Structure 1
Amino acid sequence: MASEQKEKLIRFYKGTEGEETVIKLVDLAEAVQRSQKFRLSGFLDPYGQEIAETVAANYPGLRVDFGGGYQGAERARAMYIHEDFAGTPSGFDIACLKASWNGQFARLSHRDVLGALMGLGIERDRLGDLLVTADSVRILCDSKMAEY
């Protein structure tokens, strides 16, 4: 049955920008079905979150929660939780880092900061929202990336 669901979902998103995302999310959902625990995705944009909800709706006994580090976050992580899981998930494992610069001499935009981070080899699904001000940025990221 799970294999049929997987094929149906992948076929639906085939050839779209959501194809790679749905493959990752279906694998997570199936891992939760097998383990009857919970799993956490990387950060998803709003379209990815929509796909995550679609995947959860196609797997009975599975629910999905989202967390982006603050209320109203655009990019969020999906947590698939099995209905028989008796514990409490540990959280969304999100860290908030702050970087600052002298705003008198440099004007950095969201694009500049994101480009610099991706230039370091950090994958986009490890980064949540970037909250840029005139002289600093708060970077929401996977807590495992915080040390990097």
Structure 2
Amino acid sequence: MAKNYSNGNSEKEVHLLERRLIDLSRVAYQRDIITFTDFLNLNEQNILHTLPKDSLYTGYILFGGYASAERQMAAFIPEALSLRYGKKNLLPEELGYPFQAVEICPRNIRFAEDLTHRDFLGAILNLGIERSRTGDILLEEHRAYLFAQTEIAELVSRELSNVRHTPVKCRLTELEGVEYVPRTEAVRGTVSSVRLDSLLPLAFSSSRSRLSGLIEGAKVFVNGKLITSNGYQVKENDLISVRGMGKFRYIGTGGKTKKNRLSVEIERYI
């Protein structure tokens, strides 16, 4: 099958990642252990999803620390291990993913700057940390949560002292201790169909002609899989992520209008 490399991955990079994923799956199978990737971005998750099934030796589960995480780590699980648990489908918390959360807070909220995702990411990368070793950064009022491989989380908690000009303090937090509820807003409207190119204009308040190029430009993912067809039919509860613009979940259809258009509802992440 021909691959689309316009998503930012060169043919060589794709080939190397494919080999790495297959090797991890083979090690999990041969040694009867769970093996883990680094954190994968949406492009890399799509490469994993589109590997021929017979090239992998095991199944896998993706997890990023919370529901609907964008950057996720894959765990390759040998079938024998699932049998020992007595069930086929294991939960992420049963797998011992090797990452933790770091809570980052201003030392003095009164004098803290209005910090952005870019500010936190820049401060973390300035410690010499590779992006592949960190997951999502969640922003809440007066604090942020970083998901990172355990040794990286420990490094950040020791070394990160400032974000821009704001002194900060960090502490390690178990994944269960991150009580994050994403901010969303309900968006309702009418569309001619539940094709992907019909839902994007509703989600991002723009024209169909302006946004259709995003799909052909390999910037739109549905449940982590790259979609390059404008006519892709979206299903209820699908999570659609658009690089550089955000993400939304398709909730469903409420019926037809007198003009034979579909009333739909989506949940947009803000």
TM-score range, shorter chain: 0.7 to 0.9
Please report how far the alpha carbon of residue 62 of structure 1 lies from its aligned counterpart in structure 2 after TM superposition.
Answer: 1.0
**Cα distance change on mapping 1:139 and 1:60 into 2, 3 Å:** closer
Maintained 8 Å contact 2:104/2:145: yes
| Equivalent of residue 144 in structure 2, options 110, 134, 137 | 137
Please report how far the alpha carbon of residue 59 of structure 1 lies from its aligned counterpart in structure 2 after TM superposition.
Answer: 3.1
Which amino acid in structure 2 is aligned with residue 141 of structure 1? A
Who is 2:80 aligned against?
A: 84
**CA-atom RMSD in angstroms:** 2.7
Kindly name which structure, 1 or 2, has the bigger radius of gyration based on alpha carbons: 2
Please report how far the alpha carbon of residue 105 of structure 1 lies from its aligned counterpart in structure 2 after TM superposition.
Answer: 3.9
Matches within 5 A, 1:19-38: 19-38=15-34
Who is 1:46 aligned against?
A: 42
- TM, length-normalised to structure 2: 0.45
Gaps of 5+ in 1: 1-7
Q: Determine the C-alpha separation between the residues in 2 that align with 1:103 and 1:50.
A: 43
Please report how far the alpha carbon of residue 60 of structure 1 lies from its aligned counterpart in structure 2 after TM superposition.
Answer: 5.3
**Cα distance change on mapping 1:48 and 1:36 into 2, 3 Å:** same
| Equivalent of residue 72 in structure 1, options 68, 73, 88 | 68
Please report how far the alpha carbon of residue 131 of structure 1 lies from its aligned counterpart in structure 2 after TM superposition.
Answer: 0.5
- Higher share in strand: 2
> Are residue 127 (structure 1) and residue 123 (structure 2) matched?
no
Please report how far the alpha carbon of residue 104 of structure 1 lies from its aligned counterpart in structure 2 after TM superposition.
Answer: 4.7
Please report how far the alpha carbon of residue 56 of structure 1 lies from its aligned counterpart in structure 2 after TM superposition.
Answer: 7.1
Q: Determine the C-alpha separation between the residues in 2 that align with 1:81 and 1:18.
A: 22
Q: Determine the C-alpha separation between the residues in 1 that align with 2:44 and 2:110.
A: 34
Name the count of aligned residue pairs.
138
Q: Determine the C-alpha separation between the residues in 1 that align with 2:21 and 2:33.
A: 15
Please report how far the alpha carbon of residue 147 of structure 1 lies from its aligned counterpart in structure 2 after TM superposition.
Answer: 1.4
| Equivalent of residue 114 in structure 2, options 103, 107, 110 | 107
**Cα distance change on mapping 1:117 and 1:62 into 2, 3 Å:** same
Deviating above 6 A after TM superposition, structure 1's stretches of 4 or more consecutive aligned residues are none
Maintained 8 Å contact 1:68/1:94: no
Helix, strand or coil: the match of 1:115?
helix
Please report how far the alpha carbon of residue 132 of structure 1 lies from its aligned counterpart in structure 2 after TM superposition.
Answer: 1.6
